[in-house]
Amino acid sequence: MRLFFALPVPPDARAALAGFTRAHRADLPFRRFVHPDDYHLTVAFLGELPDAVLPALQRSVDRLRPAAPGPLRVRLEALGAFGPAERPRVLVARGRLDPEAPFLRYRDALVAALAADGIAVDRKPFVPHVTLARDGTAPLPDLPWTPVAYTAADLVLFRSDLGKKPMYTPLHAWPL
C-alpha cells in the first residue's frame, strides 16, 4: 500500500480550488488535473508499506493525541510549481503556516514517533501545499490568484489507489 498522512481540504475550499483550475484550464500548461476530492495538504509521505504496518501507524498517532494542536487554519496564498521552471512537474497552491505554529511541532513529533516505530518518512523539507495538477508542458503563466483559507480539523491516513479518480482513500482519521 502506498500511504501518507494529510490534512483534507474541506468542501468550500475544494470548490474554490476546483473553480480556479476550471476557469484557467486553457491557460494552465498541465496534462493531468487532480480530482477535487483528492485535494489535501500532505503532512508525511510514507510510500509503499505492507498492510501489516497499519496497526503500528495507528499506535504512533494515538500516542500523540495529547499533543494534538487543535484545528489548523490554513491559507493557500499563492500559485506555484515544483520542478524546472520551463516544464514544472506539479502545479500547487502554496500554503503558509506560522513557523512557530503548534502544528509544526506536532508534525515533527509525528515524524519522530513513526521513526521510533521503525517507519521511515520521506525526508524532503516540509512545504505546505495542495497539488492541483501534474505533468507540466511549459512555464507556469502569471495568473490572478485569490487566496483560499480553510480550517483543517483532522489528520488522515490515506492510501493511494493509482489509476483511480478520485485516487486517495481515507483509512483512518484523528482530530487535530
CATH topology of domain 2-175: Cyclic Phosphodiesterase; Chain: A, (3.90.1140)
**Strand, coil or helix: 5:** strand
**Catalytic residue from among 24, 35, 129, 172:** 129
Peptide bond into 88 cis (omega under 30): no
Mean pLDDT, residues 29-45 = 95
Domain extents in the chain: 2-175
Q: Taking the alpha carbons of 91, 96, 102, 105 in that order, is the dihedral positive or negative?
A: positive
Which residues have C-beta within 8 Å of that of residue 150, sequence separation ≥ 6? 9, 10, 12, 13, 73, 74
Would the pTM count as exceeding 0.85?
Answer: yes
- Cα–Cα distance measured from residue 129 to residue 131, given in angstroms and rounded to the nearest whole number: 6
Confidence (pLDDT) at 88: 95
40 labelled catalytic: yes
Is 129 catalytic? The answer is yes
CA distance 176 to 28: 34
**3-class state of residue 114 by DSSP:** helix
Distance CA 170, CA 149 (A): 22
Q: Give the Cα separation of 68 and 154 in Å (integer).
A: 10
Higher pLDDT, 171 or 162: 171
pLDDT single digits (tens) 100-158: 678 888 898 999 999 988 898 888 888 999 999 999 999 999 999 999 999 999 999 99
Q: What mean pLDDT do residues 75-82 have?
A: 95
Assigned C-alpha cell, 6: 494529510
